[in-house]
């Protein structure tokens, strides 16, 4: 696009923007002198231009709600978004207002125009519910149907007659047999269900009882050892000696550790028995290690709560768990799960003076054997899980699936490595890895068990491999684990299916005598099935956003109960080009599997041609809303979030896909209980492949696509050139925004904004922040934002390594994230 054409587009757009909406289309066509391309470009810009929404967004950018420690600086950025967004094809839609606010140079409102006041909480709430939407088009917007969601989804659903005009011969021949068969099948099915319920109940109860007795026996055994005079007196002496605050070497050389070890070996009959003793200061005062390297060091954080319970007088079973967070000086000699018993050592007054851990006596092997024997003897899958949904025992069935390549965990890593989540399909997708599995929901059985429920489920559900099973489970409140027993649906209901198959065969033989009538009925039945709308399995909850291309609803899957974002293409945009553009967005997003990229669940068209796309619903806040709520962000948090964004773009760039619209509004942040902050990149509507192929529809660049203040300079000069380093520039702008609390560039008109981005450096981050930013952080941000792409990081991998190199100096933990979300994550 040359300068003359750009100027003509701009002048015509500004003139049309001053006119009433219902007269804009006619005015543009009359002034274009038959230039259809000019008409399309200006109408596209008018369709995208929403003055009120842009004004609101600008006010949310500068000035922000001033957090403690920040000064308040007047700014015109509130007007910058309004003007600059007119030259961008934004892929994130918000609700369109009927009036736009215009402010003159004096700051006064023109007569007859009242500025709509919208609170920051209302904007944040609206933005938090937004998932994805499509570009606007003024003609389609003016004529857009505002009917209810149900009307939009099913307005064209076929209404075919369902009466059967023939086939009575088939009915007369088969109906008696069908009635007898159905009665027989129902009787057999009820008997099978009753027997299956009794079987699952009996096995679950017996396995739970056996595991509970095992835990009780081992706990009582170790408790008896702790009461032995040699052990009890030695520990009491060590506690008193430790209270005198001896040196670590003196504590290591104390002879009591040897006496305790010798006595435990005699009592257990196992030379490899292990033990550790902690006093009330949570300090290791005795150990089985020959060099006593762990003595004098505090208990590992992961085990502090268990030691505290023991010091209160409780007996605790630790694990089974693989040791990763251990006491300083102690290195585990096995990568297998470890199970130990922690008991209180009581003084003469009956109060606990220390805590004694005993392991190395084959506790896990014996516990695992109980579950293994139950699986083999009952021909089903029996395993144990902890309160986090992690399998803590072996499973012969899981081992068989793993050996066959149908499970994403190695056979020896199943115990304490396999989180029992539902992959959603039969026999697990090959693309599922450990990170993705942690993001999936728990299976029905384990989700119920971790809620401390004990029941039997005879309605089929998916197990950890996506297989259809029925099962029973029992939660053990004393030892905080659950026993789950499951049986495949095929084996569980085999008798009933045999009866059903027999009557089907008989019915098929009778059907031969009435083939003509039956064939007509079969065809009608197939037609009825085909007429069922594919979106009938979704329940519409609310509308999230709409634009010229489509509308997005929050929907719930009726069977799975899973929240989704359902995107529909408008009827008036159901032309070939728009359908291909809609296809491209869905296919590009569906090619990504990284958990930090939005997931596509379903896509297709109904029989009437309605295009739809079902996506992951992203709760939480966009990074724009995060800054709006709490101002500039801690450096450690910024690096933590940027690293996750790099993971999403690493996969996209590896697939030769450039996002082209990375900005705070297109990155959703939520709180993950185990990880902390969890960032997800969405809205791939402007993404383009570096190497186009025939299977993906390509759009030509007529105007700039994206949000100007986060676009790389080369995108303005050559919109059609695809370079992954443009995404790196946008990441730098997002980092600047998070660290400064303001965007790097803000201007009131697009030409000035473009000039700043192409030729000027942004204001120093420290000026906005009110404090100096460390040099490594500044260097990382400004290198991403270099004007020349060759001066930036060469690829996303290099940027990720640079972030990793400095993250250690700026920690951000899950606890830090939880504290922020507790304070800022809820609506006012």
Binding site for ATP, by residue number, is 567
Phi, psi dihedrals of residue 385, rounded to the nearest 5°: -130, 155
Three-class SS state of 476: strand
Residues 6+ apart with CB under 8 A from 586: 600, 603, 613
Q: Give 670's strand partners.
A: 678
Taking alpha carbons only, the member of 466, 425, 320 closest to residue 383 is 320
Nearest residue to 469 (alpha-carbon basis) of 438, 451, 445, 449: 445
Q: Which helix (H) or strand (E) holds 755?
A: helix 750-759
Residue recorded with tokens 């709409």: 546
* 679 three-class SS: strand
Q: Which tokens sit at 513?
A: 């005598």
The span from the CA of 443 to the CA of 471, in Å, is 11
> Which uninterrupted H or E stretch holds 287?
strand 284-287
Integer Cα distance of 374 and 320 in angstroms:
18
Q: 3-state SS of 603-656?
A: EEECCCCCEEEEEECCCCEEHHHHHHHHCCCCHHHHHHHHHHHHHHHHHHHHCC
* 266 Cβ contact list (under 8 Å, min separation 6): none
- Spatial distance between the Cα atoms of 755 and 713, rounded to a whole number of angstroms: 9
* DSSP letter (8 states) at residue 283: B
463 close to 452: Cβ distance less than 8 angstroms:
no
Please check whether residue 322 is in contact with residue 337, taking contact to mean a CB–CB distance below 8 angstroms.
Answer: yes
Q: Whose CA is closest to 441, among 567, 563, 619?
A: 563
Distance CA 311, CA 565 (A): 50
100, 52 in Cβ contact below 8 A?
A: yes
DSSP per residue, 196-253: HHHHHHHHHHHHHHHHHHHHHHHHHHHHHHHTSHHHHHHHHHHHHHHHT---HHHHHT
Q: Token pair for residue 813?
A: 């933990």
In 375-509, which ranges are E strands?
A: 381-386, 455-462, 468-476, 481-488
- The DSSP 8-state label assigned to residue 379 in this structure reads T
Contact in structure between 353 and 238 (CB atoms under 8 Å): no
Calpha distance 400→407 (Å, rounded): 9
Q: How far apart are CA 80 and CA 745, in angstroms?
A: 9
Task: Give the number of other Cβ atoms within 10 Å of residue 101's Cβ.
Answer: 18
> Residues forming the annotated binding site?
567
Residues with Cβ within 8 Å of residue 817, at least 6 apart in sequence? 637, 671, 676, 677
């Amino acid at each position: 696009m040359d300068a003359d054409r750009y100027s003509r587009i701009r002048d015509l757009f500004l003139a049309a923007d001053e006119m009433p909406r219902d007269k804009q289309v006619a005015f543009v066509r009359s002034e274009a002198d038959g230039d259809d391309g000019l008409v399309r470009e200006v109408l596209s810009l008018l369709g995208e231009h929403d003055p009120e929404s842009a004004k609101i967004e600008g006010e949310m950018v500068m000035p922000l709600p001033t957090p403690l420690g920040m000064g308040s600086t007047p700014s015109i950025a509130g007007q910058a978004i309004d003007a600059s967004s007119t030259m961008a094809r934004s892929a994130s839609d918000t609700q369109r207002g009927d009036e736009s606010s215009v402010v003159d140079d004096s700051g006064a409102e023109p007569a007859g125009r009242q500025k709509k006041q919208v609170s920051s909480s209302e904007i944040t709430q609206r933005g938090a519910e937004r998932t994805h939407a499509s570009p606007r088009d003024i003609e389609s917007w003016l004529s857009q149907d505002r009917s209810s969601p149900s009307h939009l989804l099913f307005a064209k659903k076929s209404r075919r007659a369902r009466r059967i005009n023939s086939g009575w011969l088939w009915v007369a021949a088969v109906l008696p047999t069908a009635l007898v068969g159905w009665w027989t099948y129902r009787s057999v099915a009820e008997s099978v269900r009753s027997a299956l319920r009794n079987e699952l109940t009996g096995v679950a109860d017996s396995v739970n009882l056996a595991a509970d007795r095992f835990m009780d026996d081992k706990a009582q055994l170790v408790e008896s050892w702790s009461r032995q005079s040699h052990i009890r007196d030695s520990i009491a002496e060590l506690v008193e000696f430790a209270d005198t605050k001896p040196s670590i070497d003196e504590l290591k050389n104390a002879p009591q550790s040897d006496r305790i070890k010798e006595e435990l070996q005699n009592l257990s009959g196992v030379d490899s028995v292990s033990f550790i003793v902690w006093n009330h200061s949570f300090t290791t005062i005795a150990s089985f290690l020959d060099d006593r390297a762990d003595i004098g060091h505090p208990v590992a954080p992961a085990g502090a709560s268990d030691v505290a319970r023991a010091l209160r007088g409780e007996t605790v079973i630790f694990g089974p768990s693989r040791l990763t967070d251990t006491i300083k000086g102690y290195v585990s000699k096995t990568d297998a799960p470890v199970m130990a018993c922690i008991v209180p050592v009581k003084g003469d007054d009956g109060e606990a003076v220390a805590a004694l851990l005993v392991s190395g006596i084959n506790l896990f092997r014996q516990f695992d054997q109980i579950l293994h024997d139950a699986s083999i003897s009952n021909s089903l899958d029996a395993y144990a899980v902890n309160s986090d949904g992690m399998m803590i025992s072996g499973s012969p069935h899981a081992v068989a699936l793993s050996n066959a390549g149908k499970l994403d965990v190695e056979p020896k890593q199943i115990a304490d490595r396999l989180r029992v989540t539902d992959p959603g399909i039969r026999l697990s997708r090959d693309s599922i890895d450990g990170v993705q599995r942690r993001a999936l929901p728990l299976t029905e059985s384990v989700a119920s068990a971790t809620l401390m429920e004990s029941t039997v489920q005879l309605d089929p559900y998916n197990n950890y491999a996506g297989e259809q099973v029925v099962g029973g489970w029992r939660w053990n409140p004393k030892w905080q684990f659950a026993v789950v027993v499951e049986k495949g649906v095929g084996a569980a209901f085999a008798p009933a299916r045999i009866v059903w198959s027999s009557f089907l065969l008989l019915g098929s033989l009778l059907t031969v005598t009435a083939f003509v009538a039956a064939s007509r009925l079969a065809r009608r039945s197939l037609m009825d099935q085909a007429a069922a709308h594919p979106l009938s399995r979704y329940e519409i909850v609310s509308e999230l956003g709409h634009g010229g291309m489509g509308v997005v609803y929050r929907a719930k899957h009726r069977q799975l109960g899973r929240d989704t974002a359902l995107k529909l293409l408008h009827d008036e945009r159901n032309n070939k080009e728009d359908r291909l553009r809609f296809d491209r967005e869905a296919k590009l997003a569906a090619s990504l599997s990284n958990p930090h990229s939005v997931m596509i669940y379903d896509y297709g068209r109904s029989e009437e041609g309605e295009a739809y796309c079902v996506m992951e619903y992203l709760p939480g806040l966009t990074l724009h809303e995060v800054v709006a709520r709490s101002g500039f962000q801690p450096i450690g948090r910024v690096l933590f979030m940027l690293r996750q964004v790099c993971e999403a773009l690493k996969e996209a760039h590896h697939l030769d896909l450039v996002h082209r619209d990375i900005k705070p509004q297109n990155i959703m942040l939520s709180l993950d209980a185990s990880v902390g902050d969890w960032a997800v990149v969405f809205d791939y509507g402007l993404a383009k492949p570096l190497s186009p192929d025939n299977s993906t529809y390509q759009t030509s660049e007529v105007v700039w696509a994206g949000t100007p203040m986060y676009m790389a300079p080369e995108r303005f000069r050559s919109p059609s050139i695809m370079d992954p380093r443009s995404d790196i520039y946008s990441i730098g702008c997002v980092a600047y925004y998070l660290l400064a609390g303001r965007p790097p560039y803000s201007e009131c008109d697009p030409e000035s904004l473009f000039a700043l981005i192409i030729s000027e450096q942004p204001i120093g981050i420290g000026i906005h922040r009110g404090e100096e930013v460390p040099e490594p952080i500044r260097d990382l941000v400004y290198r991403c934002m270099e004007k020349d792409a060759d001066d930036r990081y060469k690829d996303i991998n290099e940027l990720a390594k640079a972030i990793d190199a400095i993250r250690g100096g700026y920690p951000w933990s899950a606890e830090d994230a939880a504290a922020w979300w507790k304070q800022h994550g809820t609506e006012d």
